[in-house]
């Protein structure tokens, strides 16, 4: 079957009416990839990676954005706006253009990954770099969209959460049940809220007889949900989740408590180590924030949380190409220069032996 995108495929679960345009860039239907090596070392029964970086703009944001933009179009809106650490702006810009709407994005100056910035610019969004952080940008966007004819497409727009919950549906359909543990990075906390809603909805409709435990992971320098209070000046190498006062705070806490799960913090070193392990051992290249899910599961494994039989799904929220700077910086000095001669390359590689 040809994949029709999430508005068409999951229409019965989404706010789709006869008037809703079936907008799509064929988002969703992302791979659920079984671990080959890390699963044994971590002492879990089975470890899967849901690679949301395979969405059309390279992150999970496309699932919610396609719904938010389709509804904005349906409601006759002409301009959409969001605050973003990068991925939301890339997705908003792409879907707005697809729907013939204009898009304004507010980003924290100097703190957004190059891949994401290039997307927003190429899709013709109006890009405003705020001399502040994400929380400042979101405050301004809330004010503007409340007072001017501009549609808000951050995840406080309920259509975003509706779209994002479809990732939980896919996990259930692909696994034919729920995992024991669903691990994901947490920034503004829309995604953990959306997954939990999706699992509960499938449970209520009898599509699964169990619910997973939700394990959310924040970066140590930006972990308001772990501290129980907003962080004034959030800092982390994982710029996507550099957020001090998550909009969906209550949703995240409810997901944690209702599921019997947890929200914990991982250090930047742990995040970058998990990012390298995913790339080197599993062949999966993700952006730093996405690696927080695996970093968290590695931390829990060290703490002896697992019993060797759990099924764990780590959500990999964004593609590694989003943030080429950090990837290259981590591998500094590894590129070897060579003269443009065959023998020079043979010698450098230490191939030796008879000359052909």
Provide the binding-site residues for ligand F0G, judged by CB under 6 A: 59, 61, 84-88, 155, 185-191, 240-241, 287, 289-290, 317-318
CB of 71 to ligand F0G, least distance (A): 19
8 neighbors 57 (Cβ within 8 angstroms): no
Alpha helices by DSSP H, the chain = 6-9, 38-42, 61-74, 87-99, 114-122, 134-147, 158-164, 166-175, 190-204, 224-227, 249-259, 268-282, 288-302, 324-329, 342-349
- Please tell me the distance from the alpha carbon of residue 356 to that of residue 352, in angstroms, as a whole number: 11
- Please tell me the distance from the alpha carbon of residue 154 to that of residue 144, in angstroms, as a whole number: 13
314 neighbors 297 (Cβ within 8 angstroms): yes
Nearer to ligand F0G, 5 or 185 (CB): 185
Nearer to ligand F0G, 134 or 202 (CB): 134
CB of 242 to ligand F0G, least distance (A): 9
- Please tell me the distance from the alpha carbon of residue 307 to that of residue 25, in angstroms, as a whole number: 41
CB of 250 to ligand F0G, least distance (A): 13
- Please tell me the distance from the alpha carbon of residue 50 to that of residue 46, in angstroms, as a whole number: 13
First to last CA, the chain: 51
Nearer to ligand F0G, 5 or 320 (CB): 320
102 neighbors 79 (Cβ within 8 angstroms): yes
Nearer to ligand F0G, 128 or 346 (CB): 128
User: Which amino acids are annotated as binding site for pyridoxal 5'-phosphate, given as ranges?
Assistant: 87, 187-191, 317
Beta-carbon contacts of 16 under 8 Å, excluding residues fewer than 6 positions away, are 7, 22
**Residue 139: other Cβ atoms inside 10 A:** 14
CB of 16 to ligand F0G, least distance (A): 22
Nearer to ligand F0G, 209 or 279 (CB): 279
Nearer to ligand F0G, 157 or 188 (CB): 188
CB of 202 to ligand F0G, least distance (A): 20
| Closest C-alpha to 95, from 106, 82, 108, 111 | 82
CB of 272 to ligand F0G, least distance (A): 15
CB of 153 to ligand F0G, least distance (A): 11
Nearer to ligand F0G, 16 or 138 (CB): 138
57 neighbors 91 (Cβ within 8 angstroms): yes
Q: What are the angstrom distances between the C-alpha of 243 and each of 38, 58, 167, 204, 292?
A: 29, 20, 23, 32, 14
Supply the DSSP symbol for 336: P
* Tokens standing for residue 193: 């809220």
- The residues that bridge with 266 in the sheet, in sequence order, are 219
CB of 133 to ligand F0G, least distance (A): 11
Nearer to ligand F0G, 70 or 286 (CB): 286
């Amino acid at each position: 079957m040809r994949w029709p995108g999430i508005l068409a495929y999951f229409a019965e679960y989404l706010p789709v009416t006869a008037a809703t345009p079936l907008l799509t860039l064929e988002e969703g239907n992302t791979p659920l990839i079984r671990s080959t090596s890390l699963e044994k070392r971590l002492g879990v029964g089975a470890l899967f990676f849901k690679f949301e970086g395979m969405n059309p703009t390279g992150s999970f944001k496309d699932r919610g954005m396609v719904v938010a933009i389709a509804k904005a179009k349906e409601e006759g809106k002409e301009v959409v706006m969001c605050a973003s650490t990068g991925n939301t702006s890339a997705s908003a810009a792409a879907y707005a253009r697809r729907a013939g709407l204009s898009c304004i994005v507010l980003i924290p100056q100097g703190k957004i990954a190059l891949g994401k910035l290039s997307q927003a610019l190429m899709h013709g969004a109006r890009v405003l770099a705020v001399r502040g952080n994400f929380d400042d940008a979101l405050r301004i966007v809330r004010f503007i969209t409340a007072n001017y004819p501009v549609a808000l497409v951050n995840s406080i727009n309920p259509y975003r959460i509706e779209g994002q919950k479809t990732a939980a549906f896919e996990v259930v359909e692909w696994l034919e049940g729920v995992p024991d543990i669903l691990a994901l990075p947490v920034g503004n906390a829309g995604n953990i809220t959306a997954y939990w809603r999706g699992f509960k909805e499938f449970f209520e409709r009898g599509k699964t007889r169990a619910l997973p435990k939700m394990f959310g992971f924040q970066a140590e320098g930006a972990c308001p949900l772990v501290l129980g209070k907003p962080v004034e000046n959030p800092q982390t190498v994982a710029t996507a989740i550099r957020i001090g006062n998550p909009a969906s705070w209550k949703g995240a806490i409810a997901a944690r408590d209702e599921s019997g799960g947890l929200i914990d913090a991982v250090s930047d070193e742990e995040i970058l180590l998990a990012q390298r392990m995913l790339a080197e051992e599993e062949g999966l290249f993700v952006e730093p924030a996405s690696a927080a899910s695996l970093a968290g599961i590695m931390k829990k494994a060290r703490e002896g949380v697992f019993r060797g039989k759990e099924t764990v799904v780590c959500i990999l929220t964004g593609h590694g190409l989003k943030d080429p700077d950090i990837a290259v910086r981590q591998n500094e000095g590894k590129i070897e220069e060579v003269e443009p001669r065959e023998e020079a390359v043979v010698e450098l590689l230490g191939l030796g032996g008879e000359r052909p």
